[in-house]
Homo-oligomer: A and B are copies of this chain.
Amino acid sequence: MAEEIRPGAVRPGGRTARTKRAVLAATLTELVENGYAGTSLEKIAARAGVAVSTLYRRWGGLDRVILEAGMDVGTGIVTPDTGDFERDLIDFARAVVEVYRNPVAEHWLYAMVVAATRDPSARATFSLLFENRFAEVVVIVRRALERGEVHPDTDPAEVIRLAAAPIYYRMLVTGEPVDDAVAERAARTAALAARAGVLRAD
């Protein structure tokens, strides 16, 4: 197959950016409506109004498109930098709650969790997504380590996990409501444990 040459595919900010937004939005819609198993590059391309070859060229495959769409869901979770460890953690946990107030994000989460219980490639993509997000957010803990605000043996990722876990636990397991108070308790608890040296690496 001859490679397509499209000026828009290399022009930053213009048609490329619009294509990217359309593709990621179409991917989320497909995942929410049809689930992971019902999503394909062909359907995403049709919904976004782009050629399948464009998706292959830009992302290389379905898993990479789904990963980037998932990262996009979490773009509301910017890494806070208030200068105070506990405040940063609270802001992070609140941002997680805020993200899932959007029903598209909520149903995307459900679609990914469902797929991850069944399909090893979905499991790998979903895990990689959290690894990528953690790689950004752990900066909150690294700064606190530098400032001596937490126990020096603290595992940064474990702090982030603990600040997020109660939110996901309610959404996925008990079905109890999730709000800012839940986020704040989770964050304060994680901060406390990090200071006390409970959250060391294995």
Contact = CB atoms under 8 A, between A and B. Distances in A.
Interface string A156-191: 001001101110111011111000010001101110
- A interface: dominant SS: helix
A50 B181 CA distance: 48
Number of copies: 2
A196 B127 CA distance: 33
Interface stretch (A6-14, A97-105, A110-118): A110-118
Contact of A196 (B161, B164, B170, B192): B192
A185 B166 CA distance: 14
Contacts of A127: 174-176
A85 interface: no
Nearest to A164: B169
Given A158-B185, A185-B158, A193-B192, A126 B175 contact: yes
A199 B189 contact: yes
B181 A188 contact: no
Contact of A193 (B113, B169, B176, B188): B188
Contact of A198 (B165, B173, B185): B185
Interface in A80-126: 110, 113-114, 116-118, 123, 126
Contacts of A189: 162, 189-190, 192-193, 198-199
Contacts of A130: 173-174
B116 A117 contact: no
A202 interface: yes
A82 B114 CA distance: 38
Interface of A: 110, 113-114, 116-118, 123, 126-127, 130-131, 158, 161-162, 164-166, 168-170, 172-176, 181, 185-186, 188-190, 192-193, 196, 198-199, 202
Query: Sorted from nearest, which 5 A-B pairs have the closest CB atoms?
Result: A165-B169, A110-B117, A189-B193, A127-B175, A165-B165
